[in-house]
Amino acid sequence: MAGIPPKPWPTGEAELLEPLVRRVLAPNPSPYTYTGTQTYVIGAESDVAVIDPGPNEPEHIDAILRAVGDAQVSAIMCTHTHRDHSPAAAPLAEKTGAPIVGCAPLVLKTDLPRADEAFDTTYAPDRVLEDGEQMRGTGWTLTAVATPGHTSNHLCFALEESGALFTGDHVMGWSTSVVIPPDGDMGDYMLSLEKLQARDDAVYHAAHGAAITKPRQLVRGMIGHRRQRENQIIRLMNEQPRAVSAFIPYMYKGLDERLIPAAEMSVTAHLIDLEKRSLAARSHEAGVEIWRTI
């Protein structure tokens, strides 16, 4: 995970990234959100779509409305339902009359503690997009690309007119994506990376961090990084069976203490994936879960 760049950041300002794409940064910087969530306004004519409206912060919703101006909002689209992405959808829908379209709502089977931004339980879409389904406006077409892994309901959106892909939290330039079980799934995440590698998108606009201008190169690197992590985990288990916390000092040297829970969950996600593939097993010793290779 990378450090956050020095202030000032363009919080609340609409930045024109390409003729059809404007970006508005929300005021929610943190070790998990980098400089904050980036909301995208798509379209340059009478109607626009808003991707990832962000946290329910009045100041951010006002900034989105300023960027929209006189245009009609024809869709509010969420990549997934972490609390830094979707809570502004409902108030924005109320103010604009626009439908909420995009990822499915998420029903968690458990209520375990999680290090990532928690899930937004208020999210209620008017229409769920399946993989390949489209939303169209004047001069823009957005196609849903199902990319489960970071969350089970994660979608990317491809802007057909420019070749841009809105990657949400699936692929970001500043950091690797956090995959937190039980909803986050490392096996799905790897398949979703491979899915992007097989595409030829020109640029990625992620929900956090700068635009990615060499997307396939980045995705290839991420696939390699995760495989390396997996090999490291197997090596450490071969040295000695161990608890999740005993992987961290070897795998994440000099990690910001606040990010240790996220790192532990990421290692757990790898271990569960290895378990599913019959490459690892767990046992309980004195109340602690111990992982070993099989």
Contact set with Zn ion (CB under 5 A): 82, 169
Pick 47 or 264: Cβ nearer Zn ion: 264
Name the minimum Å distance from CB 160 to Zn ion.
25
Q: Which helix (H) or strand (E) covers residue 91, if one does?
A: helix 89-96
Q: Give the closest residue to 82 by CA, choosing from 122, 46, 110, 113.
A: 122
Place of tokens 């909420």: 100
DSSP conformational letter for 3 = P
For Zn ion, give the closer residue by CB, 29 or 163.
29
Shortest distance, CB of residue 26 to Zn ion, whole angstroms? 13
Beta-sheet pairing, 127-128 with 100-102: parallel
Q: In the bound complex, what is the minimum distance in angstroms from residue 84's beta carbon to Zn ion? A: 7
Nearest Cα to 169, choosing from 79, 64, 75? 79
Burial of 142 (0-12, 13-18, 19+ CB in 10 A): buried
Least distance to Zn ion from the beta carbon of 34, Å?
A: 12
Q: How far is the CB of 195 from Zn ion (least distance, A)?
A: 18
Residue nearest to Zn ion (CB): 82
- Please identify, using beta-carbon distances, which residue of 169 and 264 lies nearer to Zn ion: 169
* Residue 57 vs 169, nearer CB to Zn ion: 169
Pair 86, 78: CB distance under 8 Å: yes
Task: Compare residues 47 and 169 and give the one whose CB is closer to Zn ion.
Answer: 169
